[in-house]
Amino acid sequence: MKTAMKSAPLRTLMQAHEELVRIRPCRKAALPVWLAYYRHSAEVYEQIAKTDPTHDGEAMYWAQRERVSAKGIEGGFKVWGLSINRPGARGALLVREVDGEGGDGGVG
């Protein structure tokens, strides 16, 4: 996952979307990278729900969606008998192809 540069704290839903698209891993990133990204995204959106009250419901939707994505990866590790903490654990993931989004960095 690309690291976030130190900048002003994110306060709006649009700022969160823009930042999370910027740091989004490439499609072929290892599953643990995607897991970390989704967990981080959920935390960001939960914080935005507190700082952008006009978009709190939408921010909580996105937080839940990112948690579901993380749980899907965690469940896959259990099904495949892999360990998230195993050094070198890798796997290709076509993110959100199931629900019609191609993981191309676009939002929504």
For 50-98, write each residue's pLDDT tens digit.
Answer: 999 999 999 999 999 999 999 999 988 766 565 555 545 454 443 433 3
Structural domain includes residue 33: yes
Structural domain includes residue 101: no
Give pLDDT, residue 11: 96
The pTM score is 0.68
Q: How many helices (H) and strands (E) does the chain have?
A: 3, 0
* Contacts of range 4-9, beta carbons closer than 8 Å, 24 or more positions apart: none
- State the total domains in the chain: 1
Structural domain includes residue 55: yes
Please write the tens of the pLDDT for every residue from 86-103.
545 454 443 433 333 444
- Sign for the pseudo-dihedral over CA of 94, 99, 101, 103: negative
The domain containing residue 17 runs over which residues? 13-80
